[in-house]
Structure 1
Amino acid sequence: MRRVERWIFSDGTPERLAAIRIGLCSVLALRLTRTVYLSIAGQPHSLYRPLSFMHLLHSMPPWGVVLPIQIVGGLAAVLAALGWRARHTLPFAWACGLFLGGMTTSLGKVVHNDVLLLLCMVPLLPAPVSDAWSLDARAGRTKPSDPMRYGWPVQTALIVVAGSYFFSGFSKLINSGPAWAFGSNMRWVLYISSDSRPSPDHWSLFIADRAWLAHLVAASILLLELGFPVVLFWKRARPAFVAGAILFHLGTWLTLGLDYWAQAATVAIVLIDWPALVARARGRSNATKGAAEGRLRTRPPDLRPEPRASR
């Protein structure tokens, strides 16, 4: 247990935390521009199926309430991504996203497209997220902090990502067992998805018509989800799991029409060490420039005689 505690509260860098702030707040800003919130605003009480804190409301909030929240929340998310007063703008943007997300999940069906994004932002709420790569840092409004304060939000976000995928796969095993991958479950899901569309979906039918391929896809999904905790202690495996998550959600969109791009983006933002990539890219750029300058300095002089001027 102490080893786990030491890992969670290990030292971090302000740049790594800032990269996650920029990425997650940018994704949230884009999500808050969706028109779905206005389309369900003011729905009749008979259609209202609240969950969690949405029970505090008797019906969907009206259009005149939703639009200002959407505008102000989106603006706060942009300012938080830029690092302007991020200790205040980030929690405010997160609260707006939570409220609007509660609206979409109060229609009788749990909608969890933005759940991972909002959960990964929770550790950032009390963290010193604007100590680097921010307008606050440029203006001198921040001070260097204990490296541990930069580390634990990143590690916690990693745990949230790994846990969300692992428990998703674990629930499949609990409810269906190995038959989820090796039974006919995946084929029926794809057939139903294709039949529910105005025209047959070729991606869904291509997989569903081939039992071996449907089993392979389902087993790959299960293996990806159950293996996700590997990213917590094996850094070299993280790019592979990022690629796997992107392919998984891309396939979900192509076959089932479910848009989980925000979740795939969240995985990439949290798992990839963006400051290290930036430093590596700068190092390669500097090495290329240095090599070019070295070639210019070592170029032999031109000893050919100058042509004589004609009289």
Structure 2
Amino acid sequence: MPIDARSTVPVPHRWVRQWATPPQVLAVARVAFAIGLLLVWQPLDAAPLGSLPAEVYFAPLGPMVLLGGFPPTWWLVALEVGSRGALAALALGWRTRAAGLTFAVIETILSGYRYSTGKIDHDILLYTVVPAVMSFSAWGDRLSIDSLIRPRRARADASAIAVSLVAVATAVEFATSGIAKAATGWLDPTSSAVEAWARQYEQSSSLRAVGETLLASDSLLLWKSFDVATVVFELGFLVAIVSRRVTRWYVLGAVGFHLGILLVLGIDFSKLTLVYLILLGTLGAKALAPLPLARGRRAASWRWLIWPGVTAAAIGVYWTSFDVRTLGPSLAGYSSRSVIGFVALIAFGVIVIATARRAPERSLSPRLPRFADPVVLGAGALALGIGPMTLFTLSEPFPAVMGPLFMGNQSEDRAITTFRQRFLLMHDDESAPISAAEFYAVRDPYATSLGEFQFPRSVETWPRAVGSARIAELSALGHRFSWIPVHGDPADVGDAQRQDLADRFPDATGIEIRWQESTSVDGEPIEERIARRYLIPLTADR
């Protein structure tokens, strides 16, 4: 029975059926997903973790807490090689299901190691949920080596279940972000959290040109509208997925949402368009219709040469460490990576506008198995329950698209309190600043995570929590610490860690770690002070 035909099937059944997607559309999404990740990933990005000492191992609640520290570098390299190999196989469509599941499992392990530096980056949707769930869909039935070797009947039924689960996961991730913001001051009518965060980014010299222009405005109504719009949008995704037609236009709103974040704060979420392509379910519906048959075999077509060629190019780009995001020009206040992200979001927005009125699922007649309803409803209920639960148990609203970095409201009656961290190399009475990367001897983003997300902030003044102080108190951003050396008694610094610092900075008598607190009103500083200061002496160990 066609999807849009009237029927007496239960509502949950009808809701799942609307997510049925033609195999050729899912194939385009699969190739874009795999190639997109290959193009933007930095080779062996987790390998530097192998050089970190056990003192800085800060595992979130989960299996990683059973480990005493980071694994050796060779193990991390082996995992990354396996992950990227699985991703390449996924792009080519070779043993698609096994490749997707392998990628999801390896990335789950690697994510646990990455998150143990103190900050959860909320990549679980991209790196684990989507490849694992979509492995049971028809996204390997077209544009794949598997389809050439073993042609099979399209599985629109399984695709409906898989895509509906991706929709639920996406909505829950957005909702947990909205819950955290709503509970920690974003809806306070007397101040603006977005304005406060923009001011924080301005203090760290990472605010973008549009943000600087907006900060020139002292309109509370303007800034408050950003707060409310953000919370409403993130919570609204749960409502939008009730209808796939509504979801298609809602992802267009997501494009605007991510563009705003990119233009103001410079944070690029364009990778999420790889997930939105699956929810959209329209790209390639006409252009990649099933190829004709000739003498019992598929007719030769130049189209079969495109995706292997692009995949090979993406693999080459990855292993040569070339970052395609540097191809874009650097505009005033924006890096070339931000420009590429901006172009990607605009391009996806154009695709949504051009194709959102299509509904290729109408031509499908999926017959869902009996277990479809309990599977989808059970997974949905589990996701809805896990979201709020992990908000407390993990000290992070996880899974979430945008996590606790944006929890709290630093503004109180328009007086905005910001903090800036500094590492200072001490030599007698002189001092010289060094970066977090130099201090930890590891590159970003891990250096920033270790420095800014495990280092204490003033629990009395930041972040100001309105509504549910308990959530803010549990946040890993400033209220939960594991590494004593940089926020407690310097005597607790491990011998190995102290010796490592002494070897790397032989002329230093100590290292001071400092938080500079400043309060401003309408951009004008009214108070500055050193909120926290810790000195790690090094001379005693020489």
Could you say whether these structures have the same fold, taking a TM-score greater than 0.5 normalized by the shorter chain as the test? Answer: yes
CA shift for structure 1 position 230: 4.5
Q: Which structure 2 residues correspond to residues 281-300 of structure 1 after superposition, within 5 A?
A: none
Q: Deviations over 1:48-80 (max 9, x none)?
A: 101223224321122212222212211211211
CA shift for structure 1 position 85: 0.8
Determine the C-alpha separation between the residues in 2 that align with 1:121 and 1:130: 11
Query: Which residue of structure 1 lines up, in the alignment, with residue 120 of structure 2?
Result: 110
Q: State whether residues 165 and 228 of structure 1, in contact with CA within 8 Å, keep that contact through their aligned partners in structure 2.
A: yes
Specify the SS of the correspondent of 2:42: coil
Determine the C-alpha separation between the residues in 2 that align with 1:33 and 1:97: 14
Matched, 1:184 2:192: yes
Specify the SS of the correspondent of 1:183: coil
More strand by share: 2
- Aligned CA distance change for structure 1 residues 43 and 142 (closer, same or farther; 3 Å): farther
Aligned residues: 277
Question: Which residue of 2, 6, 12 maps to 1:4?
Answer: 12
Instruction: Tell me the TM-score normalised to structure 1 length.
Output: 0.76
Match for 2:146: what amino acid?
Answer: D
CA RMSD in angstroms comes to 2.9
Specify the SS of the correspondent of 1:275: coil
Question: Which residue of 86, 94, 97 maps to 1:87?
Answer: 97
Question: Which residue of 198, 214, 218 maps to 1:207?
Answer: 214
Query: Which residue of structure 1 lines up, in the alignment, with residue 63 of structure 2?
Result: 53
Q: Deviations over 1:210-238 (max 9, x none)?
A: 23332232233223223223542444444
Matched, 1:119 2:126: no
Identity score, percent? 23
Q: Please, which runs of 5 or more residues in structure 2 have no aligned partner?
A: 1-8, 290-542
Determine the C-alpha separation between the residues in 1 that align with 2:137 and 2:249: 28
- Aligned CA distance change for structure 1 residues 149 and 182 (closer, same or farther; 3 Å): farther
Query: Which residue of structure 2 lines up, in the alignment, with residue 62 of structure 1?
Result: 72
Instruction: Tell me the TM-score normalised to structure 2 length.
Output: 0.46
- Name which of structure 1's ranges 34-43 and 115-124 shifts more when overlaid on structure 2: 34-43
- Aligned CA distance change for structure 1 residues 188 and 120 (closer, same or farther; 3 Å): same
Determine the C-alpha separation between the residues in 2 that align with 1:108 and 1:273: 39
Query: Which residue of structure 2 lines up, in the alignment, with residue 170 of structure 1?
Result: 179
Determine the C-alpha separation between the residues in 2 that align with 1:35 and 1:247: 32
Matched, 1:74 2:84: yes
Query: Which residue of structure 2 lines up, in the alignment, with residue 252 of structure 1?
Result: 261
- Aligned CA distance change for structure 1 residues 124 and 56 (closer, same or farther; 3 Å): farther
Question: Which residue of 220, 231, 245 maps to 1:222?
Answer: 231
Q: Deviations over 1:124-174 (max 9, x none)?
A: 2334432222110012x2421553112111121122222322332233223
Query: Which residue of structure 1 lines up, in the alignment, with residue 162 of structure 2?
Result: 153
Q: Deviations over 1:173-231 (max 9, x none)?
A: 2343622x77322111110111012x764433322332333223223322322322354
Determine the C-alpha separation between the residues in 1 that align with 2:50 and 2:259: 30
CA shift for structure 1 position 96: 2.1
Query: Which residue of structure 2 lines up, in the alignment, with residue 130 of structure 1?
Result: 140
- Name which of structure 1's ranges 90-99 and 230-239 shifts more when overlaid on structure 2: 230-239
Q: State whether residues 245 and 267 of structure 1, in contact with CA within 8 Å, keep that contact through their aligned partners in structure 2.
A: no
Q: Please, which runs of 5 or more residues in structure 1 have no aligned partner?
A: 281-311
Q: State whether residues 27 and 142 of structure 2, in contact with CA within 8 Å, keep that contact through their aligned partners in structure 1.
A: yes
Q: State whether residues 130 and 142 of structure 1, in contact with CA within 8 Å, keep that contact through their aligned partners in structure 2.
A: no
Determine the C-alpha separation between the residues in 1 that align with 2:158 and 2:278: 19
Determine the C-alpha separation between the residues in 2 that align with 1:73 and 1:120: 15
Determine the C-alpha separation between the residues in 1 that align with 2:22 and 2:167: 15
More helix by share: 1
Determine the C-alpha separation between the residues in 2 that align with 1:190 and 1:91: 39
- Aligned CA distance change for structure 1 residues 71 and 182 (closer, same or farther; 3 Å): farther
Specify the SS of the correspondent of 1:36: coil
Question: After TM superposition, which residue ranges in structure 1, 4 or more long, deviate above 6 angstroms?
Answer: none
- Name which of structure 1's ranges 63-72 and 263-272 shifts more when overlaid on structure 2: 263-272
